[in-house]
Structure 1
Amino acid sequence: MKKLLLSLVALTMVFVMAACGSSDEGTSGSDNEAAAGDKTITLGVTPWTSTVPPTKIAKLIFEDMGYTVEETSADAGSVYVGLSRGDIDVFMDAWLPVHQTYLDEYSDSIEETATSYAPADAGLVVPTYMEDINKVSDLKGKEDMFDNTLYSIEKGASVTGVLNDAIDQYGLDLEQVNSSEGGMLAQAMKLMQQEEPVLFYGWRPHTMFNKLDIKILEDDQNVLDTASVHVVTNKELKDSAPDAYEFLSNWSIPIDDVEAMIKKIEDDGEDPEEVAQEWIDNNQDKVNEMLGK
């Protein structure tokens, strides 16, 4: 009888251990999802049209991975401060080399994680009807045609410093007038409607090159470097959300796709997240590759 009792106890312990093991295996996947769900990823958003499409694509993919996603809108300088403090985890629209100063300043806490697309043309822009102005050096001695004014974007953007350096190095008698992207373009379009001379800052991807008859001036002294656009993350993301970090480290997108999405959002009035979801649906193989599937 004693042996029978011991056998029953042992058999009971086997069933208990098997049940525990089965429970652990059954919940491992949901535990991973819960871990992602407990993590909030914050995306920095600058007031540039080029920031929206990649940010919305990343947001939808993160949410599909189980993360809670928030967006923080700010100028570029404030976005990098937020990245350095850990208040912002990801910035999808870092322009190098003009943003290199931020990467150098906050190198202890942020990193360049992937190249989104390159090259991204940028520089001084004039209407094509200004046939005698094709290079930046052509502006020398003709600054009064433009009321000695270069229209540009907000002062918080580091490119404004680069443009001032270009003005100095080319020896141009120009003053940079800063406003929002929309304000700059509104002023340029107003003058172009009257076929007046106008000089402003332009870049791709942007619908301005589809809507306006303009040209980027040749930088014949190589002062204004060709840009490339990158993903920047807070260094803690690699440990706190490794699957999200892996996705970002594999991220890339054609500049033409970004420009097409900007047109749908800005010109056609489509919802940004619907446009982003459409891109995901049409590029599922690429998305899976970036996710490491």
Structure 2
Amino acid sequence: MSHTPLLKFWALLILSSALVFGLLLGTGCAAPAATEKPTIRLVEFDWTSQVFLTELLDQIISEQLGYPTERTRLSQPVTWAAMDNGDVDITPEIWFPGRQAEIQPFLDKGNIELAGEVFTGAGTGWVVPRYVVEGDPARGIEPMAPDLKTIVDLKNYWKLFENHEKPGLGEVVGGEIGWVDIDPFIILGYDLPLWYSHQSEAVMLARLIAADKKREPILMMIWWPHWIFSQVDLIKIEGVDPYHPELFDFDKEPYPVKSGFQVSKVYKVVRVGLKETAPDVYRLVHNMSVTEEEISELMLRVDVNKEAMPDVARDWIGKNQNRIDQWLGK
């Protein structure tokens, strides 16, 4: 009698048992599935520098750190409440002191925090084209106001900025009615022979660019960073006193105030809980910063050259990866 069929039976039985045991063992000892990364929720506002910085963060967080991201557009007051509730995580730009009063109660609660300045040197003030002060030999322009350094020096040069609208006064080209303007207070405070005009930002910039092309003098209020500094070479006129925000009451008609122009600090804001749930993102936000000159140039590419913002951000990342690696702590 042959034993071959019996041997085959036992061999198959042993093999099957081993496979079943192996599967059971493998199931019991399998490593747990990797924890999914949380979605990082970014908030954008409605001006170019802030939206660009949001785009920059979005690309780095999603493509280099591997987190899913969501973006939403909210007003600033709504953002602080939403972040306090844990509904959003990051926004890269808030201006102090302008927005400090509305965010401070949420900072005091401790669920959100300022994550350092995103760029330095922000502010508002008066500017003239550089050729007004220094001339431009290459363009055949002689200096028109060689000793113009501070706002009080405008007492000697106001006639350069006089026009037919208000003879006997130099014009400060200003922004739209409704903006919070300290300029009329300062004009009265230093008894400057100037008047402050109102027009849209588009008209302001068009007038400045036209004056530059015609090599004419112009005195204008502007804030920075702004792309116009990348298109027209401008000099900031200095104040003679520090900025004193407590001296201004915008509910009243302008009255004399001796103060410098507003100096701003621009911060990133982050939800504190991100430090536990996404520590690498938290570190990135705290380390991220750009220069005033960089953001002005990037705004020029988007607002004037009409380049697509995602493309501009990706190009900047490609040229600054070493710096981004430092932000990421690599």
> Residue 236 of structure 2 is aligned with which of 205, 213, 216?
216
Task: Trace 1:77-96 onto structure 2 (pairs within 5 A).
Answer: 78-86=75-83, 88-96=88-96
Q: Distance in 1 between matches of 2:271 and 2:173?
A: 35
Structure 2 match to 1:202? 223
Distance 1:113 1:248, change over 3 A: same
Shift of 1:230: 2.1
Deviations 1:135-167 (A, max 9, x none): 2234469595345x55136857xxx36556655
CA contact (8 A) 1:126 1:200 kept: no
- Unaligned 5+ segments in structure 2 are 1-16, 133-143, 244-260
**Larger CA deviation: 97-106 vs 215-224:** 97-106
Distance 1:197 1:247, change over 3 A: closer
Structure 1 match to 2:62? 63
CA contact (8 A) 1:44 1:88 kept: no
1:124 aligns with 2:139: no
- Unaligned 5+ segments in structure 1 are 1-8
Distance 1:249 1:267, change over 3 A: same
The AA in structure 2 aligned to 1:119 is G
Shift of 1:217: 0.9
**DSSP 3-state at the match of 1:119:** coil
> Residue 281 of structure 1 is aligned with which of 318, 322, 325?
318
Structure 2 match to 1:246? 283
Q: Distance in 2 between matches of 1:185 and 1:165?
A: 23
> What CA RMSD, in Å, does the superposition of the two structures yield over aligned residues?
3.8
CA contact (8 A) 1:124 1:201 kept: yes
**DSSP 3-state at the match of 2:49:** helix
Shift of 1:249: 1.4
Structure 1 match to 2:249? none
**DSSP 3-state at the match of 2:282:** helix
Deviations 1:158-214 (A, max 9, x none): xx36556655654667557374x445423544566673644222323x331232243
Asked which structure has the greater CA Rg, the reply is 2
Q: Give the TM-score, by structure 2 length.
A: 0.64
The AA in structure 2 aligned to 1:203 is W
Q: Distance in 2 between matches of 1:59 and 1:135?
A: 42
> Residue 30 of structure 2 is aligned with which of 22, 32, 39?
22
Distance 1:44 1:80, change over 3 A: farther
Instruction: Give the paired residue count.
Output: 267
- Relative to its length, the structure with more helix (as a share) is 1
Shift of 1:260: 3.1
Q: Give the TM-score, by structure 1 length.
A: 0.71
CA contact (8 A) 2:40 2:89 kept: no
Q: Distance in 1 between matches of 2:177 and 2:278?
A: 33
Structure 2 match to 1:260? 297
Q: Distance in 1 between matches of 2:124 and 2:300?
A: 18
Structure 2 match to 1:51? 50
